[in-house]
Amino acid sequence: MQDDDNLLHEALSAGARSYVQKSDAGLHLISAVQSLAEHKPYFTDRASQVLLKNFLTEADKVQQILTDREQVVVQLVAEGHSNKEAATVLNVSIKTIESHRSSIMRKLDLTSSAALVRYAVRNNLVQA
């Protein structure tokens, strides 16, 4: 199973948009080819489960990168609060918020506030 998971990731990294195991070829090959002909991806149930599990695991890892306080700061920034407003909400100094933002940007390898907002939305730290 683990080898199949690795093979799936390698195939996707190489640009594959469809994945059918040999054991499933009799059931899924024609459907996969038809989907690809329509420029649609095709994955068997097993491949979809592996992809979903890995996506959720990666999302959890990303969440663990930031401290709880940093996640709150990301949420406040994404909601449009200025550093001063965030400092007031959290009852800390503006310098503390600036320090948190700097740490967040470094940890997530982000270069702009827009990228930080995009990160917050994609990781459900703010309600869009």
Could you read off the pLDDT of 73-92 as tens digits, one per residue? 999 999 999 999 999 999 99
**Of 123, 31, 127, nearest in space to 70 by CA:** 123
CA–CA distance, 104 with 56 (Å, rounded to integer): 21
**55-64, 67-76, 118-127: which has the minimum mean pLDDT?**
55-64
- pLDDT tens per residue across span 90-100: 999 999 999 99
In a domain, 40, yes or no: yes
Range of the structural domain that residue 14 is part of: 2-60
pTM beyond 0.85: the answer is no
How many domains does the chain contain in total? 2
- The domain that holds 87 is classified in CATH as 1.10.10.10
